[in-house]
């Protein structure tokens, strides 16, 4: 992996976390507004956003954690 790819992938991580949590919370707020069910969907959305964030970060960092794991998986 070239240094460029490494740098660009790491640059993407931070905003990805923010973006996924934001998406979850905004979707939850919207659903709560629609269904008048606050705060259930906000909490669900927040958790879903956090799960996406962790999964996405894991996927983005996987290539940096040594390729052994990758080869086992494939």
Partner 1 sequence: MPKRGFWGFSSPVVVGVLFVVLVLFLVSLLSGALGSSLFGDLGLPSWLSVPQPHPELPAGVVFHLLGFPITNSIIAAWLSIIVLVGISYAVTRRLKLIPTRVQSMLESALGWLLNFCQDVAGKENGRRFFPVVATIFLFVITNAWLSLIPGFGSILITNAEGEVVELFRGANTDINLPLALALISFIFVEYWGIRSFGGLRYLRKFVNVGQFFRSIGQLVRGRLRAGISGLFTGIVDIFVGILEALSELVRIISFTFRLFGNMTGGEILLLMILFLVPFILAIPFYGLELLIGFVQALIFGGLTLVFATIAVTHHETETA
- As a whole number of angstroms, the distance between CA 54 and CA 35 comes to 28
Stretch that binds partner 1, among 3-11, 30-38, 39-47 (CB under 8 A): 3-11
Strand, coil or helix: 2:
coil
Provide, rounded to whole angstroms, the least separation between the CB of residue 21 and partner 1: 9
Which residues contact partner 1 (rule: CB under 8 A)? Answer: 1-2, 4-5, 8-9, 11-12, 15-16, 18-20, 22-23, 48, 51-52, 55-56, 59, 63, 67, 70, 73-74
């Amino acid at each position: 992996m070239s240094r460029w790819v490494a740098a660009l992938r790491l640059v993407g991580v931070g905003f990805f976390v923010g973006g996924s949590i934001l998406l979850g919370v905004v979707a939850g707020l919207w659903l709560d507004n629609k269904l008048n069910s606050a705060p259930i969907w906000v909490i669900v959305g927040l958790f879903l956003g956090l799960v996406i964030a962790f999964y996405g970060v894991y996927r983005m960092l996987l290539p940096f954690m040594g390729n052994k794991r990758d080869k086992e998986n494939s």
